[in-house]
């Protein structure tokens, strides 16, 4: 039967061969991958070959078939329909066959599939992609590559926020959650060279503000898919480092009036961009605190944040804020910005500790306290919160 199905598909032309291949693969996987009559150990090889030849068009027997733009759109539409109609238990297994370990080099097709799923609100495809992101780690090169291409298409190609992208959390909350995690890693807000695009920041701040559940969607899946990351550490980094990086950009623009992270522009234009970024960060910071409180209410804590995450963010502040290294206290704007950064770090730690939405570690808290005392300006609130955490850490179980 294995040879029969392959021979039949090779005699068909597109799109019939793809439609037949998808129907066969869905039926095969939905029946828990039964043995194919006439085949023994080669069953998996035949299934992979069917997928590569007639779904991905990455031929192992000769030159790959080149689809026209119209044919490729038809292919993507058939794949979306396949996921809509496949049994629930089979959806991700089908997706993994297409875009898992066997299918390197299919990233471009995956990006186009995600774009179509976004525009048509195809939740099954986006959910499968979200699980793929979660299992591969939202910080991996593959996931970052997908994230970068989506940001380019939906946040950089057009100046105004995309209506399609703005609805993402309602279409697939898990995809939105894992996308944010990857985006905060790719655009870390650690300096002018890792600045998130304004449109991206507008989308993310709006998502988290409107729906406090977005940040904990990956944690909801942890009981099924044990590997998970959450966007909270990355968003915390944005909220903490962002004001300081923005103040430095403004200072450079005033000093040079020439090229900056925004390209060549006048100081007024740069100031407008930076003020928009700061407004988004203000909104995001409040939304993040509300998300931590919500997660505690629905018993999804701890797990969104860890003392290790916060210690890392504190350490990165010393790289973003270097004035004390040469005895210079920095400009008034920079001094104000570092104050905002430390206040926000203290507030997030305080809320996370109060709601038990973070994983404590006395060693990491001591590390934060040491960095804050020796390498950063004194901040009364942060000092109080760290002192309180050290005093109460005896009630925590410190990881070995």
**Nearest Cα to 274, choosing from 296, 302, 303, 252?**
252
Closest CA to 205 of 248, 253, 242: 242
Can you give the pLDDT at residue 333?
80
Helix (H) or strand (E) holding 263: strand 263-264
What distance, in Å, lies between the first and last C-alpha atoms of the chain?
A: 55
Q: What is the pLDDT of residue 51?
A: 93
Q: Using the 3D structure, point to which of 77, 102, 127 is the last residue of a domain.
A: 102
Please check whether residues 220 and 335 belong to one and the same domain. Answer: yes
Q: Is residue 317 part of a domain?
A: yes
Q: Show which of 76, 102, 128 is a domain's final residue.
A: 102
In the chain, the number of structural domains is 2
Contacts of residues 92-97 at CB distance under 8 Å and 24 or more positions apart, as own/partner, are: 92/128, 92/131, 92/132, 93/29, 94/25, 94/26, 94/29, 95/125, 95/128, 95/129, 95/131, 95/132, 96/132, 97/25, 97/29, 97/47, 97/48, 97/51
Q: How far is CA 96 from CA 1, 38, 190, in A?
A: 23, 25, 34
Give the residue numbers spanning the domain of 268: 166-173+188-394
128-174 pLDDT per residue, tens: 999 999 888 877 888 989 999 999 999 988 777 788 899 999 999 99
Query: Residue 189: which of 278, 303, 287, 308 has the closest Cα?
Result: 278
Q: How confident is the model at residue 34 (pLDDT cuts 50, 70, 90)?
A: low
Position 323 scores a pLDDT of 56
222 and 356 both lie in a single domain: yes
pLDDT at residue 329 in the model: 55
Element (H, E) at 57: none
Q: What is the mean pLDDT of residues 210-221?
A: 88
Last residue of a domain, one of 46, 77, 102: 102
Alpha carbons within 13 A on the beta-carbon side of 235: 38
134 domain residue, yes or no = no
Mark whether 196 and 291 lie in a shared domain. Answer: yes
In a domain, 213, yes or no: yes
Instruction: Give 78-131 pLDDT, tens digit per residue.
Output: 999 999 999 999 999 999 999 986 556 677 899 999 999 999 999 999 999 999
**Residue 65's pLDDT band (boundaries 50, 70, 90)?**
confident
Instruction: Give the three-state DSSP class for 374.
Output: helix
Q: Is residue 311 part of a domain?
A: yes
d(CA 333, CA 252): 12
Strands 263-264 and 305-306: unpaired
* 299 C-beta neighbours (distance < 10 Å), count: 6
Please give the pLDDT value at position 98. Answer: 93
Based on the domain organization, do 96 and 195 belong to the same domain?
no
């Amino acid at each position: 039967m294995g040879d029969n199905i392959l021979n039949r598909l090779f005699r068909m032309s597109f799109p019939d061969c793809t439609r037949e291949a998808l129907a066969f693969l869905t039926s095969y996987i939905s029946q828990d991958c039964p043995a194919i009559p006439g085949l023994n150990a080669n069953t998996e090889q035949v299934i992979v070959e069917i997928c590569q030849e007639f779904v991905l068009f990455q031929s192992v027997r000769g030159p790959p078939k080149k689809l026209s733009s119209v044919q490729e759109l038809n292919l993507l539409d058939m794949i979306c329909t396949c996921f809509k109609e496949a049994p629930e238990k089979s959806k991700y297994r089908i997706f993994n066959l297409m875009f898992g370990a066997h299918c390197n080099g299919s990233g471009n097709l995956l990006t186009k599939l995600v774009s179509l799923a976004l525009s048509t609100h195809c939740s099954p495809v986006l959910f499968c992609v979200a699980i793929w992101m979660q299992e591969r780690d939202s910080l991996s090169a593959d996931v970052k590559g997908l994230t970068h291409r989506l940001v380019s298409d939906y946040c950089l190609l057009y100046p105004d926020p995309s209506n399609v992208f703005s609805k993402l959390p309602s279409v697939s909350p898990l995809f939105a959650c894992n996308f944010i995690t990857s985006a905060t890693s790719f655009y870390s807000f650690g300096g002018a060279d890792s600045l998130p695009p304004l449109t991206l920041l507008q989308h993310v701040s709006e998502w988290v503000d409107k729906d406090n559940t977005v940040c904990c969607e990956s944690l909801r899946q942890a009981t099924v898919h044990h590997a998970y990351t959450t966007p909270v550490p990355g968003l915390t980094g944005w909220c903490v480092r962002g004001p300081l990086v923005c103040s430095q950009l403004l200072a450079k623009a005033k000093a040079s009036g020439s090229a900056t992270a925004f390209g060549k522009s006048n100081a007024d234009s740069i100031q407008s961009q930076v003020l928009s970024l700061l407004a988004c960060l203000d909104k995001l910071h409040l939304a993040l605190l509300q998300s931590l409180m919500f997660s505690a209410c629905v018993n999804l804590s701890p797990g969104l944040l860890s003392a290790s995450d916060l210690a890392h963010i504190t350490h990165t502040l010393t790289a973003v804020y270097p004035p004390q290294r040469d005895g210079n206290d920095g400009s008034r704007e920079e001094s104000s910005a570092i104050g905002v950064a430390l206040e926000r770090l203290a507030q997030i730690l305080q809320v996370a500790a109060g709601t038990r939405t973070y994983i404590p570690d006395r060693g990491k808290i001591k590390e934060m306290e040491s960095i804050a005392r020796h390498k950063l300006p004194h901040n009364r609130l942060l000092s109080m919160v760290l002192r309180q955490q050290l005093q109460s850490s005896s009630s925590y179980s410190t990881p070995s």
